[in-house]
Amino acid sequence: MMKKVILTGDRPTGKLHVGHYVGSLRERVRLQNSGAYDSVNIMIADAQALTDNIDQPEKVRENIAEVALDYLACGLDPQKSTLFIQSQIPELCELSFYFMDLVTVSRLQRNPTVKAEIQMRNFEASIPVGFFTYPISQAADITIFKATTVPVGEDQMPMLEQAKEIVRRFNAAYSPVLVEPEILLPQNEACLRLPGIDGKAKMSKSLGNCIYLSDEPDAIRAKIMEMYTDPTHLQVKDPGHLEGNTVFTYLDAFCQEEHFSRYLPDYANLDELKAHYIRGGLGDVKVKKFLNSVLQETLEPIRLRRREYEKDIPEVFRILKSGSEAAREIACGTMDEVRRAMRLNYFDEDFIHSQADKYL
Ligand code: TRP
């Protein structure tokens, strides 16, 4: 049977926040512990981060440990998962180079993620070639591990489509050594796109609207109290609205039924709480206090585990180093197959003999 392999990762451009947690990290830990996968590979995509941080190599460098700490804090376990750094696998460059022959410029120009990011970063005409082609390099990340499953947010959907196309073209042109990956999206809507505390669609450091996994309890509480709710819900008795109400979006993403019996026993579940809010008579502060209890309970073990690893940073780098070595071994194995498929294995005995025979 075909092996089930997970590959996913993050650009190290900052600490990870609760959007990363519900969008991907929580799922990765669940998958890691499910026992359903033969291998789980989690990559810190430093080379990809450099494609749009050309002048900030220090920023990328300083965030390697931050992201690794967030991974370990969330429960990614180096005994069960391979945690590694993209740039330490030079075979990825080699595979990307060959993949470039399988993709057209117009196909890359149509990639919606690239389009959106070009706009967001004001690249327009001055886009670096490496940034423009990062879907190709991302396809190499995925396929060099023969990943079957890629747990990411929905913004990465076009990347997966591109990777599948490349696999199909490669396998048809050479021989079927690569595996078509499947995307694995978070199950619920709120987790797909968790808004910032200001209700804006995306959590981002520059907007100052993130709750970080490493935030202290007071900071978490203060951010929840600031959170955007329903601007028409002025008095407790007023009927409230759920659409665009960040507090309820967060409850959709984080809250479980058992949280009600612990922190808000007047309600059996989230549906009852929502119904009361819509009816009127339920104040924002009460809902925010409940969300605070839920988030504090969720984030405390993560923060405490992070603090433990922070005391032993050399160990964190040892984990990344041995993970990178293990990942490289897999990558080298695939590249041997790729070179053979592409007829680049000139120094194999059979090939040399066949060449010799030709001149007899
Ligand atoms: N592009 C992803 C992000 O910005 C990071 C990434 C790089 C990735 N290579 C990958 C994710 C391969 C999944 C698979 O978050």
Nearest CA to ligand 1 atom 9: 138
Can you give the pLDDT at residue 188?
80
Nearest CA to ligand 1 atom 15: 10
Can you give the pLDDT at residue 346?
96
Nearest CA to ligand 1 atom 5: 10
What number does CATH give the domain 5-193+313-357? 3.40.50.620
Going by C-beta distance under 8 Å and a sequence separation of 6 or more, which residues neighbour residue 144? 89, 91, 92, 95, 330, 331, 334, 335
Model pTM score: 0.93
CA of 150 to the centre of ligand 1 (A): 9
Nearest CA to ligand 1 atom 3: 10
Tens of pLDDT, residue by residue over 71-103, are 999 999 999 999 999 999 999 999 999 999 999
Atom of ligand 1 nearest to the CA of 7: 14
Atom of ligand 1 nearest to the CA of 147: 14
Distance CA 70, CA 29 (A): 12
- The answer to whether 40 and 32 are in contact (CB under 8 A) is yes
149-151 vs 182-184, strand pairing mode = parallel
Distance CA 168, CA 67 (A): 33
Distance CA 146, CA 134 (A): 18
Tokens 């809250």 belong to: 255
CA of 163 to the centre of ligand 1 (A): 12
CATH number for 217-309 (one of 3.60.70.12, 1.10.240.10, 1.10.1040.10, 3.40.50.300): it is 1.10.240.10
CA of 288 to the centre of ligand 1 (A): 33
Beta bridge partners of 83: 42
Q: Probe ligand 1: pick from 141, 145, 183, max atoms within 8 Å of CB?
A: 141
Can you give the pLDDT at residue 190?
80
Residues contacting ligand 1 via CB (< 6 Å): 7-11, 45, 48, 138, 141-142, 150, 152
- The answer to whether 149 and 82 are in contact (CB under 8 A) is no
Q: State the alpha helices, DSSP H only, in 35-156.
A: 46-50, 57-74, 91-99, 105-109, 112-120, 129-132, 134-144
- Classify 78 as helix, strand or coil: coil
Distance CA 227, CA 223 (A): 6
Distance CA 210, CA 208 (A): 6
Can you give the pLDDT at residue 79?
97
Positions of the chain with pLDDT under 50: none
Can you give the pLDDT at residue 49?
95
Taking the domains of the chain in order of start, what are their residue ranges? Answer: 5-193+313-357, 217-309
Q: Which of 178, 185, 175 is nearest to 139 (CA)?
A: 178
Other residues' Cβ atoms within 10 Å of the Cβ of residue 342: 15
Can you give the pLDDT at residue 184?
93
- The answer to whether 319 and 312 are in contact (CB under 8 A) is no
Which H or E element spans position 115?
A: helix 112-120
Both tokens of 79, joined, read: 């005994």
Beta bridge partners of 84: 43
In the chain, what is the greatest distance between 2 CA atoms, to the nearest angstrom? 96
Atom of ligand 1 nearest to the CA of 137: 9
Can you give the pLDDT at residue 294?
97
